[in-house]
Each structure stands twice: as C-alpha cells, then as structure tokens.
Amino acid sequence: MTEIIEISQLTKKYGTTDVLKGIDLTIHQGEVFGFVGHNGSGKSTFIHTITGITNKNSGFFKIKDIPDAQIDKSKKIIGVMPDVSNLYEHMRGVHFLQYMGKLSGDRRSKRDYITLMKEVGLEGDEKKRIKSYSFGMKKKICIAQALLGNPDLIILDEPTSGLDPESAIKIRNIVKKYQKLGKTILLTSHNLDEIDKVSDRVGILSNGVIKKLGTPRQLKEETGVGINISVRTKPILQRNDIQMLSKKLEMVVNFVENKKEYTLLQVASEEEILTLSRELIESGVQLYELKVEQCSLEEVFMNTK
C-alpha cells in the first residue's frame, strides 16, 4: 500500500497550550480518511499544520514523499478547503473559482468551472457575488476550491456542516467520485453517521493524540459493546434457551429481551453470529430473520476518553 501522508510524533502548541501532543499517522493513497474529535481537539490545527498554514513545533511529516521541510512543494498536490471567512466576497462565484484555478494551475475552460459549480450544488449562483451567498453556499464554493488544480490529496474540514441534507449527500457523492478517480480524501465532520458512510478508516483525536484508529467496523468491534442482533424464530427464543446455547457453544450470547416476535441478543463478534445461526438451524429452530445492529460510531466516540 502506498502512503500519501506519513506523520511521526507531530506536535503543535498555541502559546502554552499543547494542541497536538505527538501525532503518529499514515494515510494510504486512495483512501477516504475521516478525522473526528471534540470541538477544540485540534482537527483544524492538524490540517493547518500538515498543509503549511501554520508551523509545527516538532516531529516530522511527509506528503507523497516530500518532507515537511519542503512543504511548498507538497502544496501543489494538496487541495485544501479554505475557511469561509477567507473568500473574496466582492467577486462573483465563477470568477472567484477561475481566479483561484489560475493560481493553482487549473486548466479547465469557463464552461467546466460552471460544471464544477453545478457539481457542488451552486447551479444558477455562478454570477452572484460571494458576499450575497448564504453560509451553505459559501461552504460549497470552498469545497469547489479544494478540487481545483487536480490535487492528489483533497482535505476538507467540516465540508458538510451547515449544509442542508440534500447538499450534504451531494458532497458525500463528490467524495466518493474523487476517490474513484484515485484521489485521497481527508475530511473532518461532527456527523458520525456521515463519517461512517464515507470513510475507509477513521481516526479519533483526543487529548492531542490519535486515540483510536481503524475502519469503522474495527472501531465498533473494538469498542466491546458487542454486536446487537435481533432474530425472529419459531418457537420464539427465551432467556433459558439462550443460556443453554451459550453454554453449548462455549461463547457469550447475551439475552437482551423479547420484543413481539423478535428476540434481541448480543454477541461479541461477527464470527459468533455465524456460529449462532448455524447452531439454531441445526437444533431445529426455524430461523426466519436475523438482523445485525452494530453499535454506532457515536457509541465508539462516546467510549473514547
């Protein structure tokens, strides 16, 4: 696997506050990496540090093999969403993108800039001045800016916060589309459901370090709250049946409750679901339905100290 970002023991202080206390992280080329953490945990600081907007205090990082000492070179391969407050308010949307495009060596035609605006959900707003844009519209033009110049690495800091649900879905689709084109996307969001849907791997930043790292599925399994499953069987399974089954299979199957014709159970891993369903069928129970309700990333997040 090729790494596009390699970070070792990265630290960043603001005044006397240690924001990043030693970040170790590698991001693979072509993946969507979701970065989450509480307000003020340092996600934006991290992005500012690895994109050269602010200076690190110590540690090292490389972007596509370019060491941080030559960060100006790596800027050419990074598309980063600016802060909405850094937009040129007096410019018209499409002119702003053309202007920024020229600066980043983007060679698309005017018509293609209009297509890009349509892609992010700004169809019909091309000629309006940015100062007349709503917050969500400004956010969208910032996302469009990050896509200029055909960057290999696209960094989006809270691209969907403040967007209506339809626009947020549009942005999620853009992320998927650019990943298919071979791009790597690093994004932050407080919407954990969205992070779950879009990310190949997730990192949880807490107290200045990456506390949890893995695929959404790994993180959910590791959290150890177990996998909730509901089964619809005939006869309906009772607590007693589950206790006996548990003993026979030598694994922990927790009986949670009976809800109408469903029995809610909890197991530790996916493999156990297989073992359990096989055993049920072999023992003559008629299994009509088995639904897996994995714990959510929200639960993982709430269990990260």
Ligand X SMILES: Nc1ncnc2c1ncn2[C@@H]1O[C@H](COP(=O)(O)OP(=O)(O)OP(=O)(O)O)[C@@H](O)[C@H]1O
Fill in the DSSP letter of residue 192: H
- The residue range among 34-42, 118-126, 131-139, 276-284 that interacts with ligand X, by the rule CB under 6 A, is 34-42
Tell me if 189 contacts ligand X by CB under 6 A. no
Tell me if 42 contacts ligand X by CB under 6 A. yes
**Residue closer to Mg ion (CB basis): 30 or 162:** 162
Tell me if 263 contacts Mg ion by CB under 5 A. no
Counting Cβ atoms within 10 Å, is residue 52 exposed (0-12), middle (13-18) or buried (19+)? Answer: middle
Distance CA 304, CA 223 (A): 9
Distance CA 216, CA 218 (A): 6
**Residue closer to ligand X (CB basis): 204 or 265:** 204
Closest distance of CB 45 from ligand X, Å: 3
Interface size with Mg ion, residues (CB under 5 A): 2
Contacting residues for 207 by C-beta, under 8 A, at least 6 apart:
21, 41
Closest distance of CB 181 from ligand X, Å: 27
- The residue range among 38-46, 70-78, 80-88, 168-176 that interacts with ligand X, by the rule CB under 6 A, is 38-46
Q: Which of residues 39-98 bind Mg ion (CB under 5 A)?
A: 43-44
CB-based burial, 159-174: b 16+ in 10 Å, e otherwise: bbeebeeebbebbbeb
Binding mask 13-32 for ligand X (x = CB under 6 A): -x--x-x-------------
Contacting residues for 262 by C-beta, under 8 A, at least 6 apart:
230, 231, 232, 289
Positions touching ligand X (CB under 6 A) are 14, 17, 19, 37, 39-45
Q: Name the residues that contact Mg ion, by CB under 5 A.
A: 43-44
